[in-house]
A and B are shown apart, each in its own frame.
Chain A
Amino acid sequence: MKIDRRQFFKVAGWGAAAGVTAMNVVGRFGSGGRAQAFESMETPETVKAKQFAMVVDMSKFKTKDDIQKVIYACHHTHNVPNWGNPKDEVKWIWTDTYKHVFPGQESPFLDEAFKEMPFLVMCNHCDHPACTRVCPTKATFKRPDGIVMMDYHRCIGCRFCMAACPFGARSFNWRDPRLALNMNDLNMEYPTRTKGVVEKCTFCDERIAQGKQPACVEAAPAGGLVFGDIDDPNSDVRKALARTYTIRRKPELGTGPNIYYVIGGGETNAG
């Protein structure tokens, strides 16, 4: 076959274009780049895991103060703004009653103590998170250690993740969060966010990277919050799960939530 100069350039041009496109596609769809970026943040102290999880043992929280300390620890560590109104509200960890934490599970004859119990709720760092699936820009994504992470610099603020999350775990910065922060009482180790992005609990990725436990776990009464790798049979989380009966929020939706609740009677079984 004989081709002239013009045809040659035409073919070569299309070939090059196709090649570049293919490389782009491979780069975009493959997960190699992401894993690499994550590893570069690791230090020798970094706690490693396949899937981080938490057990919330409500029997260990005796007073309102026990709960408040946990919420304060998280929100202060991460400079979470306190708007004081439900419309602009931003929260990473908070409490609600049984009826709202486990909707559909309540019964009219539930014991008063359980009815009013302030269950701690936060992001479930699901196995199959609906939020990361819908994010159009990969601004929220699942890390190799199971943490559902946020990239505040990439988030376009479309709030699709908020519509997708079945646990109401995500907050949007409806206004500039710095306006609702005490600027004299900031944690200078952690960045504040900008208006127009979504945020939520990150299992304290920044503390895990330094070999520490999440802030809430540290602030909770002993055994109240147990954190670790659910994939490791010897982890504290697995030991806690083996000790007693636990439940999860909305497991029927198949997202695979990784926060487990010990509702009561934990003390009788505690080893």
Chain B
Amino acid sequence: MLDKALTGSKLYWAWVLFLLVLVGIGTAAYIKQFNYGLGITGMSRDVSWGFYIAQFTFLVGVAASAVMLVIPYYLHNYKTFGRIVILGEFLAVSAVTMCILFIFVDMGQPMRIMNVVLHPRPNSVMFWDSLVLSGYLALNLLIGWANLHAEKMGVPHPSWTKPLTYLSVPWAVSIHTVTAFLYAGLPGRAFWLSAVMAARFLASAFAAGPALLLLLALLVRKITRFDAGKEAIQTLGKIVTYAMFVNVFLLGLEFFTAFYSHIPEHMASFKYLYMGLDGHNKLVPLMWTSSVLAVVSMSMLVFPQIRRKEKLLAVACVATFISLWIDKGFGLVIGGFIPSPMDHVTEYWPTGIELLITMGVYAAGILVLTVLYKVAISVKVANEYPAPLKGAVEEAH
């Protein structure tokens, strides 16, 4: 089936080539980091995790969000999602691939990565995170690929994928819960030490992931003959709406607890992020951008009349995605380190090399996504437009 990714239009190959160039630039930047050390990034003794770990955290959410398609389709037999569920599963594969790459580029001693397997400590949340993430990658790749292959052959989905699909539901919840536990169980970091952390992670994931998927579905419809269907896109829009409101509600809970209790260390990181602390306010404009975009997205999403217009729905989804990306792919991780446990404010900003490596990882993930989507869409299109239009398969993409 992979052969479908080896035939395509000029545009397809130009896109693949473009991504490969970006991956190449990212790799060159990584070699520089490998030789110099992680000091080449903006990280420091006080802010010891930065852009890489923040991207990892955000993308785990994108990966987990595939479950928002799997539950309606497989558990509730919601047929409308029949055409789009594969896009969700393959998006999860691409997102987890990026997660693993981000962890890798963040390691001080990447050559020792196998130590996690050779000398595991079951008490460590990171050990469990590596287990659930690799498991989730395997599950989605296996289920998506097998079911797609069955569709290509014109036979029902193999029965063995069914229990795996059911397993993937709690598994998706687990990857993001465990990722939240990386943060929520640390004694000296008041900003992260919150029982709603995992719930907030899931809510923001179920808004950002489906928002991205919705945009991808619209893009796929524009450049190929594959249409996920108007109703599927509308349902996705509803999911984004509910999840976004729940997410902002949970963020509101955090604010209330911190500021009504008035405990200094619980307020400190919020103050740094939204107002600045001790004269340091590098992240303030970003966080307010996120807040404004959240208000924009919610005030659009909440009205069905607006949501029904696909162009406006797309705008709302872009706003949702960027808002959540700033909040979780930057503020949440950096904010936890500021102020430091000794109450000092050390600021962080990614360096050029750090951004190039990040770009390289994203390009690699998008490349995986492109290849998987090319295969999936080619199979679907070939099924829908049989013999007479066989040339269309090659056209797709």
Contact call A136/B130, Cβ cutoff below 8 A: yes
* Cβ-neighbour of B343 out of A99, A158, A174, A175 (below 8 A): A99
Contact call A100/B108, Cβ cutoff below 8 A: no
**A173 contacts partner chain B, Cβ-Cβ < 8 Å:** yes
A contact residues around B189 at 8 Å (CB):
163, 166
Could you tell me how many residues of chain B have their Cβ less than 8 Å away from some Cβ of chain A? 48
Contact call A159/B342, Cβ cutoff below 8 A: no
Contact call A137/B115, Cβ cutoff below 8 A: yes
Contact call A137/B108, Cβ cutoff below 8 A: no
Contact call B116/A136, Cβ cutoff below 8 A: yes
Given contacts A29-B122, A104-B265, contact A255 B107 (CB under 8 A): no
**Distance, CA A103 to CA B119, complexed state (A):** 36
Q: Which one of B36-44, B307-315, B381-389 is at the interface?
A: B36-44
Contact call A167/B109, Cβ cutoff below 8 A: no
**B304 contacts partner chain A, Cβ-Cβ < 8 Å:** no
Identify which of residues 161-183 in chain A touch chain B, using a CB-to-CB cut-off of 8 Å.
162-168, 171-176
Q: Which one of A70-78, A85-93, A227-235, A259-267 is at the interface?
A: A85-93
Contact call B130/A196, Cβ cutoff below 8 A: no
A: contact size bracket: 35 or more
Contact call A136/B38, Cβ cutoff below 8 A: no
* Cβ-neighbour of A103 out of B45, B48, B106, B265 (below 8 A): B265
Contact call A167/B341, Cβ cutoff below 8 A: yes
**B124 contacts partner chain A, Cβ-Cβ < 8 Å:** yes
**A254 contacts partner chain B, Cβ-Cβ < 8 Å:** yes
Identify which of residues 337-387 in chain B touch chain A, using a CB-to-CB cut-off of 8 Å.
337, 340-344, 346
B contact residues around A86 at 8 Å (CB):
44-46, 346
B contact residues around A104 at 8 Å (CB):
264-265
**Distance, CA A134 to CA B123, complexed state (A):** 7
B contact residues around A194 at 8 Å (CB):
109
Q: Which one of A8-16, A43-51, A58-66, A149-157 is at the interface?
A: A149-157
Please name the residue on chain A nearest to B122 by beta carbon. Answer: A29
**Distance, CA A194 to CA B35, complexed state (A):** 12
Contact call A134/B126, Cβ cutoff below 8 A: yes
**Distance, CA A194 to CA B185, complexed state (A):** 29
Contact call B124/A156, Cβ cutoff below 8 A: no
* Listed residue (A104, A134, A171) with the most chain B CB atoms within 10 angstroms of its CB: A134
**B113 contacts partner chain A, Cβ-Cβ < 8 Å:** yes
Contact call B123/A133, Cβ cutoff below 8 A: yes
Contact mask A230-270 → B, CB, 8 Å, 1/0?
Answer: 00000000000000000000100111000000000000000
B contact residues around A253 at 8 Å (CB):
187-188
Contact call B343/A100, Cβ cutoff below 8 A: yes
Identify which of residues 317-354 in chain B touch chain A, using a CB-to-CB cut-off of 8 Å.
336-337, 340-344, 346
Contact call A168/B108, Cβ cutoff below 8 A: no
**A143 contacts partner chain B, Cβ-Cβ < 8 Å:** no
Identify which of residues 108-167 in chain B touch chain A, using a CB-to-CB cut-off of 8 Å.
108-110, 112-113, 115-116, 118-127, 130
Contact call A137/B120, Cβ cutoff below 8 A: yes
Contact call B115/A164, Cβ cutoff below 8 A: no
**A138 contacts partner chain B, Cβ-Cβ < 8 Å:** yes
Contact call B342/A157, Cβ cutoff below 8 A: no
* Listed residue (A99, A138, A171) with the most chain B CB atoms within 10 angstroms of its CB: A138
Contact call A136/B108, Cβ cutoff below 8 A: no
Contact call B49/A159, Cβ cutoff below 8 A: yes
Please name the residue on chain A nearest to B123 by beta carbon. Answer: A133
* Cβ-neighbour of B112 out of A88, A156, A198 (below 8 A): A156
Given contacts A103-B343, A164-B188, A165-B188, contact A154 B112 (CB under 8 A): yes
Contact call B49/A163, Cβ cutoff below 8 A: yes
A contact residues around B340 at 8 Å (CB):
168
Contact call B107/A158, Cβ cutoff below 8 A: yes
B contact residues around A137 at 8 Å (CB):
112, 115-116, 118-121
Given contacts A164-B187, A195-B37, contact A136 B120 (CB under 8 A): yes
Contact call B186/A172, Cβ cutoff below 8 A: no
* Cβ-neighbour of B188 out of A130, A157, A173, A175 (below 8 A): A130
B contact residues around A175 at 8 Å (CB):
36-37, 39
**B71 contacts partner chain A, Cβ-Cβ < 8 Å:** no
Contact call B38/A196, Cβ cutoff below 8 A: yes
B contact residues around A167 at 8 Å (CB):
188, 341-342
**Distance, CA A166 to CA B192, complexed state (A):** 13
Of the A-B pairs whose beta carbons lie under 8 Å apart in the complex, a sample of 18, sorted by A's number, is A28-B119, A88-B44, A89-B44, A104-B264, A133-B123, A134-B125, A136-B115, A136-B127, A137-B112, A158-B106, A158-B107, A160-B124, A166-B187, A166-B188, A172-B45, A175-B37, A196-B38, A253-B187
Which residues of A line the B interface, CB within 8 A?
A: 28-29, 86-90, 96, 99-101, 103-104, 121, 130, 133-139, 154-160, 162-168, 171-176, 194-198, 250, 253-255
